[in-house]
């Protein structure tokens, strides 16, 4: 018996997700593309949250090294605005959507541990070694999230290309998807 993959990311990363795109029903293509959009929102959110934590950790390390005069609390607005570390560019100046996706708040995944930890409340109590270990942990998670996002984007691109081919060749009507929405 085949194991049923419940998480959307597991479904997307499964080798069968993009098989036989040319033979796939139009509505299945659209559903899978929408799944990619939802997953991209989720994983973009994860990355933003991880980057915020990494910026806070980097500030604390600089503060302890005597490179920052402000306390973390005083610098928090600047850090969260993206100007805390000149070596790491902040968020673009344009307005970005900050809608939080509907994701579970508890879980067993490493990303859940990284985002649900109380590290901000305990940041000042960490030893230098704990700060560095937490920074390594967050960087590792961020790398995994980025790899998954690239997979999401690749799947989205292939689905989009197939839908575009069908529109171009008259095999599907782009207005059909709008009528169903």
For residue 86, the model assigns a pLDDT of 42
**Is the dihedral angle over the CA atoms 169, 173, 175, 177 positive or is it negative?**
negative
d(CA 137, CA 110): 9
Residue 136 lies in a domain: yes
For residue 99, the model assigns a pLDDT of 56
Burial of 79 (0-12, 13-18, 19+ CB in 10 A): buried
Number of domains in the chain: 1
d(CA 108, CA 67): 37
Q: Is the pLDDT of residue 49 over 80?
A: yes
d(CA 34, CA 47): 20
For residue 101, the model assigns a pLDDT of 53
Helices (H), ranges, the chain = 8-13, 26-64, 72-80, 110-116, 119-122, 128-168, 174-180
Residue 45 lies in a domain: yes
Domain residues for the domain of 49 are 28-88+105-173
**Percent residues over pLDDT 90 in the chain:** 55
Residue 140 lies in a domain: yes
Q: What is the mean pLDDT of residues 113-135?
A: 84
Residue 58 lies in a domain: yes
Residues near 166 by beta carbon (within 8 Å), at least 6 away in sequence: 26, 172
Residue 132 lies in a domain: yes
Residue 51 lies in a domain: yes
As a whole number, the mean pLDDT across the chain is 82
Q: Are residues 131 and 29 in contact, defined by beta-carbon separation less than 8 angstroms? A: no
Count how many residues are written for the chain. Answer: 181
In terms of pLDDT, which residue wins out, 5 or 60?
A: 60
Residue 15 lies in a domain: no
Read off the tokens for 22. 């040319």
Helix axes 26-64, 128-168, angle to 10 degrees: 160
Residue 7 lies in a domain: no
Backbone conformation region of residue 66, classed left if phi is above 0, alpha if psi is from -120 to 50, else beta? left
Using alpha carbons, select from 102, 117, 103, 126 the residue that is nearest to residue 50: 117
């Amino acid at each position: 018996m085949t194991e049923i993959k419940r998480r959307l990311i597991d479904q997307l990363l499964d080798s069968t997700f993009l098989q036989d795109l040319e033979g796939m029903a139009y509505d299945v293509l659209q559903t899978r593309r929408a799944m990619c959009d939802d997953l991209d929102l989720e994983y973009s959110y994860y990355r933003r949250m991880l980057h915020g934590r990494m910026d806070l950790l980097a500030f604390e390390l600089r503060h302890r090294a005597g490179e920052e005069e402000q306390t973390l609390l005083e610098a928090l607005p600047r850090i969260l605005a993206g100007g805390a570390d000149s070596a790491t560019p902040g968020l673009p100046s344009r307005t970005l959507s900050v809608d939080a996706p509907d994701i579970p708040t508890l879980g067993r995944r490493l990303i859940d541990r990284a985002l649900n930890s109380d590290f901000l409340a305990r940041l000042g109590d960490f030893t230098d070694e704990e700060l560095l270990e937490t920074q390594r942990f967050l960087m590792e998670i961020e790398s995994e999230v980025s790899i998954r996002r690239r997979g999401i984007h690749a799947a989205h691109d292939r689905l989009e290309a197939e839908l575009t081919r069908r529109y171009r060749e008259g095999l599907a009507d782009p207005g059909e998807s709008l009528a169903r929405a």
